[in-house]
Structure 1
Amino acid sequence: MNSKIKKYLLVFGLFTSFTSFNSCSLWNNFTVYYNRFYLAEKAFEDAEEEIKLNPKKTLFQFKEDKLPATANKNFDEVIKFSSKILQFNKDTKYVNKAIYMIAKSYYYKEMYNKAVRNFYELDKLKDEDLGLSTKLWIAKSEMQMRNFTTALKLIEEVKKTAVALEEDEILFQVYITEISYLIYREDFSKAISKIEELTQLDFDDDVKSAITYELGLLYITLENYEKAVNAFEIVNEGSPSFEIEVKSKIEYAKAIKHLGRNEESMELLTTLVDDTKYEQYWDVINLEIAQIELETGKPDIALEIFYSIDTGYSKNESSGIAAFMQGDILEHIYMNYDSAKFMYDKVASKKAPDEYKKEALAKSNLLKTRKEYSDLIFSSTRGYKYLIDTTLFISDSIAYAGYLARRDSAMQVENENDISQSKVKTSTRNKRPVRGTQAALKEQFKYYEDSLFTYEPKLPLISIDSVKNQISKSKYDLGNLYFSDLLVPDSAYFYYQDIIANHSDTKFYPKALYALGSYYLTLDNKEKADSLFKFVYDNHSSDPIAKIAGIRLGIDMKELSTDPALEEYHFAEILLEEEKYNAAIEKLDSVYNKFPNSQYSPKALYSIGWIYENKLSDYDTAVLYYDTLKAKFPNTDYVRDINFKLAFYHSEKKAVKDSIARVEKALQDSIFQFEKAIKDSIKADSLSQNRTIIIPDSTQSDKSILDSNSVILNGSQRTLKLEEANNNTSDSSKIIDLFEQAKELQKKEKNN
């Protein structure tokens, strides 16, 4: 062949191969882009955009918010499609970006171990475009995993590189991460210094305004309201986004209020409410207006505004805050505790910041306890009167019976009216339930009567002395609740004084005297307080409270003989207050074991049971301790407190046990009857060597013959052995299975 032709063919072949190779590579990138990468990138961008639009997310927020459902689903899609690129398309240009998106997706999903593993894998690839950003995200991931030393070291490296390469966006994110960490650690002074550094960088006005706004919030946290006001003024003089503008104005109004400029603050807030431009923020603005009204001595106006926010913006977070504030006003100003509890309970079902929800729950529990103490005082006092005068119990029982008769009559009339008004509703489920049913008890509140006997009189089953002790204990507990928790010392004084005047023969008398002394200390009346402490010390040395009274008086208590268990019990109480429940249980258990004859031994057992019941929700363990308490100290007040619920628990447990036993017996009986029926059936139709069973086919004239050893189906060589059935005729389930198989084979044979 001519050499020129050979050279031409060689060049043409190389050109064709090169073109073919490039075309293949381009085609791979093209198909991967549209089949996988495009879908992954689209889902990733949508998810990040949704996170940015989260109104609750702040600029310097350390902990990531819980992902919205849509964003979470999108990140799952990102991981799915990007993982396929890594698995099937390693030769394409999308590999590094796929790893990057997978890692960030795991980060947003708070799966930080997986995130950091993928970021480190990408970092090894030395990607020029993603390298610095990858190191930043490694630092952020380490930060979330609380590896602060590693994270801070990486942050410094990224910052130096970003400055050198003039990567302003990376540098901005570095500062955000650093400041977020400092705020999380509550190092506010350093955080402010870093923010001031950040504001020196060249950013757009809206970004600078957002940073300065956060600076103002930090100054408010430090209660430096003058600097906060200056920061918010700078924001308002700049070009902030609409959201930052209105938030800054609201915070400015709050800050100047703290500086005593109430009128100016109210004027600014009123201006904002009058402008429809700020309509979407009116609920937040009105919260501040109501707060000013409250602080300037107008609780009725404040209550009205909070109510309008609560009902008018029920889907907003401000509604939950307004409900809480209504409860606060009703509790502390009007002392309407039942209504206050209702409002606190309402917060749980509304949107509200976590701190408001937690505080509302705590306050609701306190008010519930107050109601329980009050009810117990009422019922115990009434019961005490019944024990003194049984004729009073009889007359009250007669009066209560009259009340029930009138209530039932009213229910019957209402039921008849309902039926006559609507003939359609004639089924029994639409009728008023009769007295005595659970439904009737639920509907009882619908009948009102001005009567003292809308409750059932009950004659106590304990002694008069025990009832008196129960009354004094409830009054003492209620007094302490008012004094320490509800912060209403005047109400506490009433109950302490009541015990001193009417229950001097109970063990709560010296405790009430000491508590009254503490009350006088809050009034700076040390002379009166010391006289009460001295009286307790001199006259009640056998009571543990005498030691505490002596300490109050500055007396050396080494020579005073007191119960050695007291100190350990008090330590356990401190642990309980700190919510260290397991440690408190351990300490209380040591009180019981080390001081079995101490008066604190039964109290320790009771407290352990109470913790398991009310704090750890471990009811079985609680009952174990209550049972021990009842066995060891049967005549104590603590046993009387738990007797009813202990009896109820054991009766319920026995009922469940009996029910299970009945079900098991019924099951065993059923199995026995079933097996017997099978045995009888087999016996009646016993298979013999010379006998066949004919299984008719409804569509064919052929018959399937079942002999003693096998089932033979016409047109088939298949057989079913029945030897096992012949050897063990009592195994009913196996026989039934074999017959079912025979029928199935017959059906298949027919189809063939």
Structure 2
Amino acid sequence: MSLRNKSFKYLLVIIPLFVFGGCSIWENFTTYFNLYYNTSTLFEDAEKEILSQKRDLFSTEPLVIPATARTSLTKVIEKSSKLLQFYSGSSYVNDALLMLGKSFYYQGNYLKSKKKFEEFLAAETDDEEEITEANLWLAKCAFELRDFNNALKLLEEVRAKAVGEAYDEIIKESYVQEIKYRLKENDLSKAIILANEFAEVYDDDVVRAKIYYELGNMYSKLDDDKNALIAYEKVFENEPDFDLEITATIKYANALRENKQSDKALEIFKDIRKKDKFRESYGEIDFQIGKTFVELGDYDRAYDQFKIVDTTYRNTAFASASNFEMAELYRTRFMNYDSAGYYYSKASTSTLPEDYKEKARNNNQLFTKYANLRKDINRLNRQLYYSQNPEVFKKDSSNYVADSLKLLTEFLERKEMQEIWGGVDTLLYPKNPKLKDSTFIKDSIFVRDSLVKIDSLIQIGLFNPQDSIGLRQKLIDSLKTKRLNDLKDPRNPDNILKNSKVSLDSVKFKRNPPQKLKISIDSAQTVLAKNSLELGNLFLAELNVQDSALVLYNNILEEYPSPVYYPNTLYALGSYYLTVNNKAKADSLFEIIYDKYKDRTIVNAAANKLNKPLINLGFDPAKDEYASAEDLMLEGSYDQSIIKFYSIYNNFPKSPVAPQALYTTGWILENDLFLLDSAAVVYDTLLAKYPSSQYVKQVSKKVTAYKQEKTKLAQMLKDSLAALNKKHVTDSTLIAGNTIQQEDEQGAEENSIVDDEIKINQKNGGKEPIEFVNQEDKLKPPIKKKLEPLWDPRKHFN
């Protein structure tokens, strides 16, 4: 009962008693006319506006409070508070508390709302229906305050009381509130049980039709198509309103299709498509007809139907859904992944029905990845082919240049024609409307000249006048033919002027010019192996196209045997054989991975497939080597230990032990073998290769001091050598002079001996050997004078 009508009835009783009553009756009378009536009117109008919004019965979306209703609620709160403050003795206090509680609830102030309902329950003791209603609102506040246990307990008590007393509105609200909560929690099973109870206890056929419609939707979400069909049928056994009848009919036909009754569903769709009352739903109906064609296996007609929806109902949710369905056809039936990717992209960037949004987004990401992988593989394959076949690259590059130059020539010709005919439009189409069209003038002159020529021929007897009958029409027809030909001629000025201006940037040169690899062939093959493996996994796991995956995996193993991706490809190939139920082949591949690739993370995936022990990937063989070298060091075998320590760095440079091994090598050289230069070299390698190692701090100062000392000694040596060179130049000049004089004297003496020998030979005719009376006169080697020794730098420093 509305507060206004209820108060009006009270007023009918108050007026007769006014004459006989006392002050309390007068107070009630003045309160009603001065304040309460206006307040209750404001509240009822605001509540009616809020509840009149078109919503599903069990909608979980929050209420949207219109601006006018929000303003009215603020006034209701002000007036009700005033009534409580100044008319606390009137009989309208409890009603004011109810209005305050509901107003605060609609405003979202649930704590204040709860407080007002509690105040009402403390004050009201007689009206059981109002008490039950206040408890219902307390339960609603508890739901909003997330006190779910108390809310559910209170709702159960309210529902039991309302059903027993036949409080219809309270029954409805109690079921609706709990079903909404169950739907928010995604507890569809409990929601369905409550909805079935609700339909049994509620007598309003209009509301029952809504309940069964919502039941059908809940069953559909659980893929319980049989019960969904029964629920939708029960909608029509009650009294659905106009809008519900339309939506329920479409849902019923959809349920028939899901229950493998596609022929009957198609008949219903075609039947309602002819009725005017379904005009607003033609887009959805046409879309559902397309889906029904898919279920019937008529994919071409389905595609045509979706295309009609996309073009006829552009920018609607069903047009977007049609794009998604066309993408599905291209993916699953026509096997055209490029077109599928295009339609998925188109669908994901437009307004979609709620149940399509996530699917469209995921598939768009999937096919975007597919397109990028395929593009990269094709590009790298092409560049790899050109890098491996330079002669083909030269030939294709020449052809590309020739084709591009041809396009450029065509562009320049078009541009030249535009420049030639520039401004002709002002001549052919003058702005002055009084000037006749130049084409008409030209054609008129042609007709006039032709007729004059014919008249001249008739006068001299060379033309029969009878032949001129219909000549004008023939000339006109000839002109029409000529005009049509002119319209088709690309060199016609009109055609050139209709074309937009052409710029050099708009010339579409031949795409994808030949290019060689910008990286090494080995690197390109590694990238190709990676991309091909990802694409194969995409085919196997996402697109469910095993044959394409097999081709890619085998191609990687044969063409791009990259050590990085080889074991992963073997595992992917094993997974393929598992999907085709060839477990023996799969296990053989997993065995290869388990035996040969124990240092890869993929090995444990293979171990799981084979039910074998997992491999400790943290095992470091360098640690065992380090322990062995350490034993040699402790035994005093320093020469052997440093060889072993240094081999750890060479063989396992990425091991965490490698910097420690280098440090230990340097330490032995420095402290045990006293080879400081060698130790410095090892420490310097440690600094260069492992700058973030903890051992760097311990050796960095030593290396720096060593390098500084080496630089200092090198400079000193350089200075000493410079001084030596300077002194050597002076001393060597004096020595060189003495040497030249001695050599001259020696040379003169040798020459005199040679001359004497020649004379003796000539005297004996050169036939007898030379004889010396005195053997001391024989030739003797010249005696060289002992020179002063050069300056010795070692003695100088000693």
**Do they superpose with TM above 0.5?**
yes
Does residue 613 of structure 2 align to residue 557 of structure 1? yes
Q: Deviations over 1:144-195 (max 9, x none)?
A: 4432102101102222332344312101211222233334434444333333
Going from structure 1 to structure 2, the CA distance change for 1:467 and 1:411 (only over 3 Å counts) comes to: same
Cα offset, 1:314, TM superposition = 3.5
Structure 2 residue aligned with 1:477: 534
Structure 2 residue aligned with 1:256: 256
Is residue 411–residue 432 contact of structure 1 (8 Å, CA) maintained in 2? no
Distance in structure 1 (CA, Å) of the matches to 2:516 and 2:236: 71
Pick which of 536-545 and 152-161 moved more: 536-545
1:431-510 matched pairs, under 5 angstroms: 440=505, 451=510, 454-455=511-512, 459-510=516-567
Distance in structure 1 (CA, Å) of the matches to 2:212 and 2:118: 35
Cα offset, 1:434, TM superposition = 5.8
Structure 2 residue aligned with 1:520: 577
Structure 1 residue aligned with 2:231: 231
Structure 1 residue aligned with 2:344: 344
Structure 2 residue aligned with 1:169: 169
Is residue 306–residue 326 contact of structure 1 (8 Å, CA) maintained in 2? yes
Cα offset, 1:22, TM superposition = 8.1
Structure 2 residue aligned with 1:60: 58
Is residue 110–residue 141 contact of structure 2 (8 Å, CA) maintained in 1? yes
Distance in structure 2 (CA, Å) of the matches to 1:404 and 1:131: 88
Distance in structure 2 (CA, Å) of the matches to 1:507 and 1:514: 13
Structure 2 residue aligned with 1:149: 149
- TM-score (normalised: structure 2): 0.58
Cα offset, 1:397, TM superposition = 5.6
One-letter amino acid of the counterpart of residue 270, structure 1: K
Out of 42, 45, 48, which is 2:48 matched to? 45
Going from structure 1 to structure 2, the CA distance change for 1:417 and 1:497 (only over 3 Å counts) comes to: farther
Distance in structure 2 (CA, Å) of the matches to 1:160 and 1:596: 78
Is residue 320–residue 347 contact of structure 2 (8 Å, CA) maintained in 1? yes
Structure 2 residue aligned with 1:747: none
Is residue 37–residue 81 contact of structure 1 (8 Å, CA) maintained in 2? no
Distance in structure 1 (CA, Å) of the matches to 2:344 and 2:263: 31
Distance in structure 1 (CA, Å) of the matches to 2:601 and 2:193: 54
Going from structure 1 to structure 2, the CA distance change for 1:195 and 1:346 (only over 3 Å counts) comes to: same
Going from structure 1 to structure 2, the CA distance change for 1:33 and 1:110 (only over 3 Å counts) comes to: closer
Structure 2 residue aligned with 1:733: none
Structure 2 residue aligned with 1:312: 312
Which secondary structure state, in structure 2, belongs to the residue aligned with residue 200 of structure 1?
helix
1:704-723 matched pairs, under 5 angstroms: none
Q: Deviations over 1:103-122 (max 9, x none)?
A: 55665566655655665565
Structure 2 residue aligned with 1:586: none
Cα offset, 1:302, TM superposition = 1.3
Distance in structure 1 (CA, Å) of the matches to 2:619 and 2:602: 13
Distance in structure 2 (CA, Å) of the matches to 1:502 and 1:363: 30
One-letter amino acid of the counterpart of residue 177, structure 1: Q
One-letter amino acid of the counterpart of residue 42, structure 1: D
Structure 1 residue aligned with 2:73: 79
Is residue 40–residue 77 contact of structure 1 (8 Å, CA) maintained in 2? no
Going from structure 1 to structure 2, the CA distance change for 1:85 and 1:350 (only over 3 Å counts) comes to: farther
1:84-163 matched pairs, under 5 angstroms: 84-86=78-80, 88-90=82-84, 91=86, 104=102, 107=105, 116=114, 119-120=117-118, 126=124, 128=127, 130-163=130-163
Which secondary structure state, in structure 2, belongs to the residue aligned with residue 237 of structure 1?
coil
Cα offset, 1:294, TM superposition = 0.7
Going from structure 1 to structure 2, the CA distance change for 1:414 and 1:66 (only over 3 Å counts) comes to: farther
Structure 1 residue aligned with 2:586: 529
Distance in structure 1 (CA, Å) of the matches to 2:352 and 2:149: 35
Going from structure 1 to structure 2, the CA distance change for 1:159 and 1:319 (only over 3 Å counts) comes to: same
Which secondary structure state, in structure 1, belongs to the residue aligned with residue 132 of structure 2?
helix
Is residue 323–residue 343 contact of structure 2 (8 Å, CA) maintained in 1? yes
One-letter amino acid of the counterpart of residue 45, structure 1: K
Is residue 290–residue 302 contact of structure 2 (8 Å, CA) maintained in 1? yes
Q: Deviations over 1:495-519 (max 9, x none)?
A: 1121122112442222222212211
Going from structure 1 to structure 2, the CA distance change for 1:317 and 1:84 (only over 3 Å counts) comes to: same
Cα offset, 1:88, TM superposition = 4.8
Is residue 520–residue 526 contact of structure 1 (8 Å, CA) maintained in 2? yes
Which secondary structure state, in structure 1, belongs to the residue aligned with residue 66 of structure 2?
helix
1:179-578 matched pairs, under 5 angstroms: 179-314=179-314, 316-388=316-388, 413=414, 440=505, 451=510, 454-455=511-512, 459-554=516-611, 556-558=612-614, 560=615, 562=617
One-letter amino acid of the counterpart of residue 60, structure 1: F
Is residue 262–residue 295 contact of structure 2 (8 Å, CA) maintained in 1? no
Going from structure 1 to structure 2, the CA distance change for 1:250 and 1:377 (only over 3 Å counts) comes to: same
Distance in structure 2 (CA, Å) of the matches to 1:122 and 1:398: 93
Is residue 415–residue 431 contact of structure 1 (8 Å, CA) maintained in 2? no
Which secondary structure state, in structure 1, belongs to the residue aligned with residue 260 of structure 2?
coil
Distance in structure 1 (CA, Å) of the matches to 2:208 and 2:63: 27
Is residue 44–residue 101 contact of structure 1 (8 Å, CA) maintained in 2? no
Distance in structure 1 (CA, Å) of the matches to 2:216 and 2:154: 29
Over alpha carbons, which structure has the higher Rg? 2
Distance in structure 2 (CA, Å) of the matches to 1:301 and 1:288: 13
Which secondary structure state, in structure 2, belongs to the residue aligned with residue 238 of structure 1?
coil
Cα offset, 1:40, TM superposition = 5.2
Cα offset, 1:38, TM superposition = 4.4
**Structure 1 unmatched runs, 5+:** 1-14, 425-429, 566-594, 600-630, 634-752
Is residue 103–residue 119 contact of structure 1 (8 Å, CA) maintained in 2? yes
Cα offset, 1:49, TM superposition = 0.9
Could you tell me the percent identity over the aligned residues? 29
Which secondary structure state, in structure 2, belongs to the residue aligned with residue 154 of structure 1?
helix
Going from structure 1 to structure 2, the CA distance change for 1:189 and 1:366 (only over 3 Å counts) comes to: closer
Going from structure 1 to structure 2, the CA distance change for 1:35 and 1:373 (only over 3 Å counts) comes to: same
Going from structure 1 to structure 2, the CA distance change for 1:249 and 1:122 (only over 3 Å counts) comes to: same
Is residue 36–residue 84 contact of structure 1 (8 Å, CA) maintained in 2? no
Is residue 250–residue 285 contact of structure 2 (8 Å, CA) maintained in 1? yes
One-letter amino acid of the counterpart of residue 217, structure 1: N
Q: Deviations over 1:280-334 (max 9, x none)?
A: 3333333332222112221221122222223333454333322221222222222
- TM-score (normalised: structure 1): 0.61
Which secondary structure state, in structure 2, belongs to the residue aligned with residue 146 of structure 1?
coil
Distance in structure 2 (CA, Å) of the matches to 1:95 and 1:402: 95
**Structure 2 unmatched runs, 5+:** 1-17, 430-498, 621-651, 657-687, 691-798
Q: Deviations over 1:690-731 (max 9, x none)?
A: xxxxxxxxxxxxxxxxxxxxxxxxxxxxxxxxxxxxxxxxxx
One-letter amino acid of the counterpart of residue 480, structure 1: N
Distance in structure 1 (CA, Å) of the matches to 2:565 and 2:423: 60
Is residue 310–residue 322 contact of structure 1 (8 Å, CA) maintained in 2? yes
Going from structure 1 to structure 2, the CA distance change for 1:525 and 1:45 (only over 3 Å counts) comes to: same
Pick which of 388-397 and 282-291 moved more: 388-397
Cα offset, 1:82, TM superposition = 2.3
Distance in structure 2 (CA, Å) of the matches to 1:339 and 1:184: 38
Is residue 139–residue 152 contact of structure 2 (8 Å, CA) maintained in 1? yes
Going from structure 1 to structure 2, the CA distance change for 1:130 and 1:476 (only over 3 Å counts) comes to: same
The count of corresponding residues between Structure 1 and Structure 2 is 531
Cα offset, 1:375, TM superposition = 1.7
Going from structure 1 to structure 2, the CA distance change for 1:422 and 1:525 (only over 3 Å counts) comes to: farther
